[in-house]
Structure 1
Amino acid sequence: MNSVEITNELAALLKGENTYHNLSVPQLIEKVLQRNEGSLTSTGAVRATTGTYTGRSPRDKYIVKEDSVADKVDWGSVNQKIAPDIFEKLYQKVLSYLSEKDEIFVFDGFAGADEKYRIPLKVVNEFAWHNLFAHQLFIKDETGSNDDGNPFSIVSAPTFKADPAVDGTRSETFIMISFEKRIVLIGGTEYAGEMKKSIFSVMNYLLPEAGILPMHCSANVGEEGDVALFFGLSGTGKTTLSADSSRKLIGDDEHGWSSTGVFNIEGGCYAKCIGLTKEKEPQIFDSISFGAVLENVVIDEKTKIADYENAFYTENTRAAYSIDSIDNIVVPSIAGHPSTMIFLTADAFGVLPPISKLTKEQAMYHFLSGYTSKLAGTERGITSPETTFSACFGSPFLPLPATRYAEMLGKKIEEHDVQVFLVNTGWTGGAYGTGKRMKLEYTRAMVQAALHGELDGAETIKDPLFGLNIPVHVPGVPDHVLLPEKTWENQQEYQQKARELAAEFKQNFKKFNTIDPQISELGGPAL
């Protein structure tokens, strides 16, 4: 079966009488309520629950091993290969399954705010609330120009469960990307984030081919046009710290960096909302209004008020909303070259400084390392902080070798004289279980100082083990908080934990044996 036949079969499905194309937000909400897929909250947001799967299923994600990608993809436990014939058989089953549904929903839009580099998308959903999610997260097709391109299609059938013995999958769940067929096939999971992250994986493959660096980061811009990027894994604070009332938001989570500057890949935000309050995060709180989607958030059945403190379903409660719901945004979501980068980590060892300035070599080292503590609920099976090294702060979404992205980043840093900082939003005064999470007000103060250039010539102390340059003073932050060792009661325990983490950094970096040796020598811990 060739790609034309598969495309025609999808086209036939899309022409069916049971297919609704590009319904408006009110129409989709009506469908959600009619179909009992979710309920309305007091603010007009739709609340849905996702059953067993409340986070991504990385072990069930595959890339089809086709001739055009076989020699380019970095195959392994992240990019698992699946044979074309297995994909095609499963694809046919899903199309047949959807054709028998009373209703399916289609959204047409784009990934990429820069018209020169965007790709058209067609999102086909079994659930109306998933289509509403796509409406909020991707860039809407306002002009009908989507039809002029060759779209990458998401075909999502959450209630279709694979049979591993027959379908060649690991479990009932599957997320498969075919670059030749331009299809993302999803089944067996109701977690909407799989759609978003699959398209990010697609862009991480396509953009470098055009000389563009794809980045798992949020981005904003100040009044003087100064652009800042915030890198980090889920739960480290990208969304929270980039949502700054004094700066305009470019985007929440995914960006490309071209020869002219940065652009948002998405049209919306997908924020963690466990513990959300209006006082701490007013932009996010106020954006959860009519048309927004809440995943796995507990609501009071009488008042319909969301309880953001309640983790009954999962710690990974989420809010999906259009970037248009935020007042101070860049329209379109495009800006110039960054002047500042913030690498965010949540260190459960409690030994990394809350802020330190990085050299280019250190920036490449920590970008490749992508260290953090994976927080509870972001993936299935994670119930407490777990040490992880995720290359480029987004290893699950990188089809190409990580060193390719790091080398592109190093060139960009050098070319545009970017100031890079490592910010620890994790634990202080001890490791997880003993210490406490860094206060958000302190982190905000440190980030603001970095963005305003207050740390460019500041006095620093060099950490003897990690080689990091730590400012001795930051306005609004007690001086002792800046030096991790001073926040621990037991200095011997601190030294032991620091050495443990440094050893893990060293061990992890051994896999990047194709990178310039100087990156390891000048960027990593001195063990």
Structure 2
Amino acid sequence: MTAFDHVSLRTQIATAAQSLSDNAIAPELVALALSAGEPKLTADGALSVRTGAFTGRSPKDKYIVRDALTENSVWWDNSGAMAPERFDLLLADVTAHLAGQDLFRQDLLAGADPRHQYAVTVLTPSAWHALFIRNLLIRRGEGIDASPGATAVTIVHAPHFKADPARHGCRTDTVIVLDMSRNLVIIAGTLYAGEIKKSVFSLFNFHAPRNNVLPMHCSANLGPDGEAALFFGLSGTGKTTLSNDPDRPLIGDDEHGWSDDGVFNLEGGCYAKTVKLSASAEPEIFAATRRFGTVLENVVLDDQSVPDFNDISLTENTRAAYPIHVLPSIAPGSTGGTPKTVVFLTADAFGVLPPLARLTPEQAVYHFLSGYTAKVAGTERGVTEPQATFSACFGAPFMPLHPTVYGDMLAQRLKASGAQAWLLNTGWTGGGYGVGKRIDIASTRRLLTAALDGSLDMIDMRFDPLFGFEVPLHVAGVDDKLLDPRRTWVDGDAYDAQATKLVELFRRNFQKFGPDANAEAGPRLQMAAE
């Protein structure tokens, strides 16, 4: 396959622009964004922006070009397909749309390991989007070397272009398309900046397994001997909070690769949720939101231009984008050694799972493929039951290949490294949401510390007859009763009924992986004795 000429495409788009701001730094981009009249400065100097109708990703409007490379490898049940000729037509139309506009170009890196690195160029007519992606990817010259062999990626960002479904073969006038063969991305019809970030991740997730790298939607930090710990978890489970530990330098908060040499961050920044953010609970993230150059998405400001993180009138998905180096404790080079510990986080709103469980390698793969958490009841009147959420590999929307590809790689990595996997539940105890209470953060941190420092290696465990994993009988500083969720319920029969429901949800979800999947490592309908 002939390599695509990224330089010619970038030159064509840049030459047709009215002006080109080339790799502007944060102060320039802030000034240019403010001159456009839409963003505002907060009282502390962060840039406050609104994303209009789109306050989150548009997964139903995301496509992959279906060609010889992707035809038999992409998990099409999870991805929309676009014909190559439709993509080329869309690219031509978007290029014509950008002609005559003021454009911003950012040349950045993705991948802290030079052997697995992407040279990413983003072209956009929006100064604040340029600042956003500059915050989130790796900036050249900031401690991570650019590899001469880095894979070229071009992202053409046209937030105000309206696609034509009949002409471009898409669903609506919003479209996000990835051409995996040429490493081209088009994002059009949405102001939500997270689409840029996740497109880079999706490209990486497609290509990485072919280079023997496991791509992971997780946070990671370093232990005292340089070994990494991984934290997988969906939104609201505590992934960012628990991985930000002043005693454990942060490798990264969201996207990583695991190679034969260890773990490396794909990014150079953080994209933290800010809903109900407080200085006491998450001081590092709170401080980052008060920094000049941080981009705050859809955060409401009061009449003194101070962010109100409790105001979710625009969306619950309020975000802050900032460079990772503003945090007080980060890993040098954004890399770490081979993981010693793998933690799967869940916030079980059914009140069934124990706060900590030790997993066998087979159980680890099962829970990785399941990607479970449970969200609390929504605002709809009469809805009181928790809603189970399963997202394969804890990031299904960004995983172009079948989940079992990543699951098999995780199994190989666990076997080779000897890493211990744990399930850490940050959800409810003593009953489900509305009856029980959220497990307190102090107990969660004690449990996590015990799992990370090896102090549970010789602790007596009980076998959980429902889920098949081992649960510690005692952890210093934690109420023994908390470790056995059935004991925290007033009505044991009610716990059994809720547990049976959750087991069935797990089993039903896992059926989509087919008869060869590792279902025997999951829960079974065998109830605990009274």
TM range (shorter): over 0.9
Q: Matches of 1:205 and 1:142 in 2, distance apart?
A: 27
1:255: how far off?
0.6
Alignment of 1:47-126 (within 5 A): 47-76=48-77, 78-101=78-101, 103-126=102-125
Matched residue, 2:130? 131
- Over the aligned positions, Cα root-mean-square deviation in angstroms equals 2.3
Matched residue, 1:473? 474
Q: Matches of 1:411 and 1:146 in 2, distance apart?
A: 28
Q: Matches of 1:67 and 1:383 in 2, distance apart?
A: 47
Q: Does 1:498 align with 2:499?
A: yes
Q: Which one-letter code corresponds to 2:106 in the other structure?
A: F
Q: Matches of 2:61 and 2:375 in 1, distance apart?
A: 19
1:430: how far off?
2.1
Matched residue, 1:349? 350
1:292 is aligned, of 291, 294, 310, to 294
Q: Do the aligned partners of 2:350 and 2:386 also contact (CA within 8 Å) in 1?
A: no
Matched residue, 2:514? 513
SS in 2 for 1:446: helix
1:477: how far off?
2.4
Q: Matches of 2:274 and 2:38 in 1, distance apart?
A: 21
Change (3 A) 1:46 1:232: same
1:399: how far off?
1.0
Q: Do the aligned partners of 2:300 and 2:309 also contact (CA within 8 Å) in 1?
A: yes
Matched residue, 1:483? 484
Q: Which one-letter code corresponds to 2:174 in the other structure?
A: T
Change (3 A) 1:505 1:251: same
Matched residue, 1:257? 258
SS in 2 for 1:47: strand
1:474: how far off?
2.1
Q: Do the aligned partners of 2:86 and 2:167 also contact (CA within 8 Å) in 1?
A: no
Q: Do the aligned partners of 1:121 and 1:146 also contact (CA within 8 Å) in 2?
A: no
- The more displaced of 244-253 and 469-478 is 469-478
Q: Matches of 1:233 and 1:397 in 2, distance apart?
A: 13
1:125: how far off?
1.5
Q: Matches of 2:448 and 2:150 in 1, distance apart?
A: 41
Q: Matches of 1:293 and 1:352 in 2, distance apart?
A: 37
1:471: how far off?
1.4
Change (3 A) 1:339 1:9: closer
Q: Which one-letter code corresponds to 1:298 in the other structure?
A: V
Q: Do the aligned partners of 1:268 and 1:321 also contact (CA within 8 Å) in 2?
A: yes
**Residue-by-residue CA offset, 1:179-210 (whole Å, 9 max, x unaligned):** 12321111111111111111111111111110
SS in 2 for 1:122: strand
**Residue-by-residue CA offset, 1:388-422 (whole Å, 9 max, x unaligned):** 21111111111111111111111111111111110
1:279: how far off?
1.1
1:234: how far off?
2.2
1:375: how far off?
7.3
Change (3 A) 1:322 1:293: same
1:241: how far off?
0.6
Q: Which one-letter code corresponds to 1:502 in the other structure?
A: V
Q: Identify unmatched segments of 5+ residues in structure 1.
A: none
1:438: how far off?
2.5
Alignment of 1:176-255 (within 5 A): 176-255=177-256
1:74: how far off?
1.4
SS in 2 for 1:190: coil
**Same amino acid, percent of matched pairs:** 47
1:376: how far off?
9.2
Alignment of 1:261-410 (within 5 A): 261-288=262-289, 289-301=291-303, 303-373=304-374, 386-410=387-411
Q: Matches of 2:63 and 2:377 in 1, distance apart?
A: 24
1:170: how far off?
1.3
Q: Matches of 1:439 and 1:417 in 2, distance apart?
A: 30
Q: Matches of 2:263 and 2:241 in 1, distance apart?
A: 20
Q: Matches of 1:357 and 1:241 in 2, distance apart?
A: 18
Q: Which one-letter code corresponds to 2:367 in the other structure?
A: H
Q: Do the aligned partners of 1:298 and 1:310 also contact (CA within 8 Å) in 2?
A: yes
Q: Do the aligned partners of 1:156 and 1:187 also contact (CA within 8 Å) in 2?
A: yes
- The more displaced of 224-233 and 212-221 is 224-233
Q: Do the aligned partners of 1:316 and 1:376 also contact (CA within 8 Å) in 2?
A: no
Q: Matches of 2:202 and 2:422 in 1, distance apart?
A: 26
Q: Matches of 2:280 and 2:20 in 1, distance apart?
A: 42
Q: Matches of 1:181 and 1:111 in 2, distance apart?
A: 17
Q: Do the aligned partners of 1:426 and 1:437 also contact (CA within 8 Å) in 2?
A: yes
Q: Do the aligned partners of 1:364 and 1:523 also contact (CA within 8 Å) in 2?
A: no
1:82: how far off?
1.0
Q: Which one-letter code corresponds to 1:494 in the other structure?
A: Y
Q: Matches of 2:377 and 2:163 in 1, distance apart?
A: 27
Q: Matches of 2:193 and 2:385 in 1, distance apart?
A: 23
- The more displaced of 426-435 and 172-181 is 426-435
Q: Identify unmatched segments of 5+ residues in structure 2.
A: none
TM-score w.r.t. the length of structure 1 is 0.93
Q: Matches of 2:166 and 2:415 in 1, distance apart?
A: 51
1:228: how far off?
0.6
Q: Do the aligned partners of 1:112 and 1:266 also contact (CA within 8 Å) in 2?
A: yes
SS in 2 for 1:139: coil
Aligned length: 517
Q: Which one-letter code corresponds to 2:191 in the other structure?
A: E
Q: Which one-letter code corresponds to 1:356 in the other structure?
A: A
SS in 2 for 1:307: coil
Q: Which one-letter code corresponds to 1:521 in the other structure?
A: E
Q: Matches of 2:64 and 2:377 in 1, distance apart?
A: 27
- The more displaced of 86-95 and 28-37 is 86-95
Q: Which one-letter code corresponds to 1:296 in the other structure?
A: N
Q: Matches of 1:99 and 1:127 in 2, distance apart?
A: 14
Matched residue, 2:141? 142
Change (3 A) 1:115 1:127: same
Q: Do the aligned partners of 2:39 and 2:49 also contact (CA within 8 Å) in 1?
A: yes
Q: Matches of 2:384 and 2:261 in 1, distance apart?
A: 42
1:330: how far off?
1.1
1:384: how far off?
9.8
SS in 2 for 1:306: coil
- The more displaced of 124-133 and 20-29 is 124-133
1:283: how far off?
1.3
SS in 2 for 1:116: helix
Change (3 A) 1:514 1:266: farther
Q: Which one-letter code corresponds to 1:97 in the other structure?
A: H
Change (3 A) 1:186 1:146: farther
1:515: how far off?
4.1
Matched residue, 2:12? 12
Change (3 A) 1:522 1:154: same
SS in 2 for 1:176: strand
1:4: how far off?
5.6
Q: Which one-letter code corresponds to 1:434 in the other structure?
A: V
